[in-house]
A and B are shown apart, each in its own frame.
Chain A
Amino acid sequence: MSQLALTEILGLLLQDSRLRKRLAKNRTAVMRELGVAQEQASFINGLNLQQLEAQAESLIRKRQYEASRVIPETWSRLGRHGQVHFRKYADQAPWPQGHRRHFIDAAMFCDVIKSIGLSGYLKSEHQRVAFLAGHQRFSIRIVNDLIVNKKEYWAIQFCIRRKETTFSQAYHFGCSRKRKRPLIAGLAAKPETSWGKKRKSITRSLEETDESLHQCRGFSLKKKRD
C-alpha cells in the first residue's frame, strides 16, 4: 500500500463518520489501517477529535445549505424532514464534482425524495434545478405545482440559460390551479433587493502604479483623497 499524504488521510476522516468513530475508539488500529507513516503519527495523534467532528459536521451543513438554497420551496415544504432525508441521502451519495455541484446535488436529492414519495416534492423546482445542473440552453415543460405567494399554479415553465449573463432564468406562464387566475411571472428574474438611492458624487482619482508579476507589491491601485 502506498503511503497516503496527510491531506488524503484528513480527507478520508472528514468524509467518513464511521472511520472517525473507529478512530475515537482505537486510534492505533485506524492509523495502521490507513498506513500512517511514523512521521505522520504525531499529526494524527494531535488531532482534536471533537474539532474534527465539528469540521465534518460543518461540511455536511454547508452541503445541505447550498442544496436547500437552490430548491427553497421544496425545502420549506419538507420542514424538519428535509434535514433527516438530506443526511440519509448525503451519507450514500458523495458530493458531486465540478462547479455545478450544488445544482447536481439538489437535483439528485429531488430524485430521491420523488422516488420515496415525500409530500414536499415539487416537480417545478426539480425540473428547474435539473436544468441548471445540465448543459441545455433552454427547456419547456408543463408543471402543476408552481408555488407563487404560497399558492400552487399550473404553468408552462421556460428555462433559459442566457449567454450574456451568468444567472440562468426561469419564466412561468399559466393559471391558478384553484381559482384559474392568470399568472405571468419571471420568477428568477425578479430582483431580490431594492435599488440604492442617489448619492452625491465623490471626486476620486485612480492611480495605477507598477504591476509586476509574482510581486504583490505591484498591485498598487489606490485612490487619493483631497
Chain B
Amino acid sequence: MTEEIALESIVEVPLVGLGFRAPFAEWILQKPNTIDCIELTAEHFFDGGEAQLEKLRERYPISVHGLGLSLGTPGKLDAITLDNFKHVANLANARWISEHIAFTKTDDVDLGHLNPVPLKKTSLRTLVDHSREVMDVCQRPLLLENITSYLRVPEEIPETEFINQLCQEAGVGLLLDVTNLFINGQNHQFDPLNWLHQIEPTFIQQLHIVGYSFQAGVWHDRHNEPIQEELFELARKVISYAPVESIIIERDGAFPSCDQIENELKRLEEICESARSY
C-alpha cells in the first residue's frame, strides 16, 4: 500500500495559535499540543518581559502584532514606538510583524483606537511609505490587518482594490480578520464572500478570529465571545480560497478556561484540515 496513498494523505494546513494574554500565560508556556504558534502584542512588552519572551521563543514560532504605529497617519512615524516595536520583534525573533490598515492619531488628536483611513490615493501612498519604513527598520516581513468600523468611509478606491494595491505596492501581506470582515458585512450590508473573492488570494497570509457580539441590532468586535458557527464557516472558506499560513484566536476579555480555548483551537484545526483536503 501504499506509498501512493500515504503521499496523498499529506496536506499542508495553517498553523493554529493564540494571542498571548496574561490569563493564558502559564498554560501557553506548558506548550500544549493544540497551540502551534503564538502572536504577541508588541505594546505588552514595551516595559520588559524579556525572560518570558525568551521562553516563548524557544517553544513557538512567533508573530508580533502592533496597535499603536498608526500607519495611516500622514507624516513621520513615531520614532519611539517604532523603536520599541522593533526591539520586541527582535527579542521574539518574529517570523513576521503586523499592524492595521488604520489610523489611531493625528498631529492634533489621539483617538486611542483604530479608525478607517480615507480610501484615496493619498492614504494609499501614506500606508505604502509607512509599511516600507516599518519593514526597513524592523527587517522583517509585514502583514496589514483589515479593521472593523461603524463608519463606512466614502470610497474613491473600492476597499478591496485599495487593499490589493497596498499589498502589491508595499510588498506586504494581508492579515485577514475573519471576524472584522463578518461584522463589517453585517453592519454595512455586503457579502463577506464577495468581498473576499475580490482580494488577491496570495496576499492573505494570516487570519484572526474571535467571537462577535451582537447588541441592539449592531454587531460589535469586543473580543470577548466564543467563536460562532458562522465565523468557523467563513474561516473555512477563506482557508480554502487562500494560502493562509496561520490562524490566531484573538481573545481579549471575558477569558474562558483553557479547556474552552483548546476546544476552539481543535475546531480550527479540523476546519483547516477539511478546507485543505480537496
Contact = CB atoms under 8 A, between A and B. Distances in A.
Interface residues of B, number: 87
B50 interface: yes
Interface string A7-45: 110111011000000000000000000000000001100
A193 B12 contact: no
B66 to A, nearest CB: 10
B13 A225 contact: yes
Interface string A97-127: 1011100000000000000000000000000
B205 A216 contact: yes
Given A47-B154, A166-B45, A216-B143, A62 B118 contact: no
A191 to B, nearest CB: 6
Interface stretch (A143-151, A157-165, A177-185): A157-165
B246 A6 contact: no
Nearest to A48: B152
B120 A6 contact: yes
B193 interface: no
Given A192-B23, A194-B257, A222-B15, A101 B172 contact: no
B234 interface: no
Interface string B50-73: 111000000001000000100011
29 contacts: A6-B118, A7-B117, A10-B118, A10-B153, A11-B106, A11-B109, A11-B111, A12-B106, A14-B109, A14-B115, A43-B154, A48-B151, A48-B152, A55-B150, A96-B110, A97-B110, A163-B48, A165-B25, A166-B52, A193-B24, A194-B259, A199-B32, A216-B171, A216-B202, A219-B95, A219-B96, A219-B173, A221-B37, A226-B6
Interface of A: 5-8, 10-12, 14-15, 42-43, 46-48, 51-52, 54-55, 57-59, 62-63, 65, 69, 94-97, 99-101, 161-167, 191-197, 199-202, 204, 206, 211, 213-226
